[in-house]
Amino acid sequence: MSFEVNVEHETAQSLCIHVKGNIDVRTSPALREVMNNCFSVQVESIQVVLSGVPSMDSSGIATLVGASE
């Protein structure tokens, strides 16, 4: 399965990050980069949709937790 991250503006003040594919040591840097870019934008809310993620290792969890800092 390929790895994809897409960002959509839900409203003018909210973003939605859709992730598809496994999040692991190989793919988590790409997710981290997208999330860091999203957090640099002035919005009220950011939603991360993981329904397309069949598995995630500890590096994926660290990426999600680290993005909230």
| 5-61 tens-digit pLDDT | 999 988 889 999 999 999 999 999 999 999 999 888 888 999 999 999 999 999 999
Q: How many CB atoms lie within 10 A of CB 31?
A: 23
**pTM, to two decimals:** 0.88
Strand-pair partners of 52: 20
Containing 58, the helix (H) or strand (E) segment is helix 58-67
Domains in the chain: ranges and CATH: 4-67 (3.30.750.24)
Q: Do 15 and 38 touch, CB atoms closer than 8 A?
A: yes
Distances 17 to 8, 35, 61 between C-alpha atoms, Å = 7, 8, 15
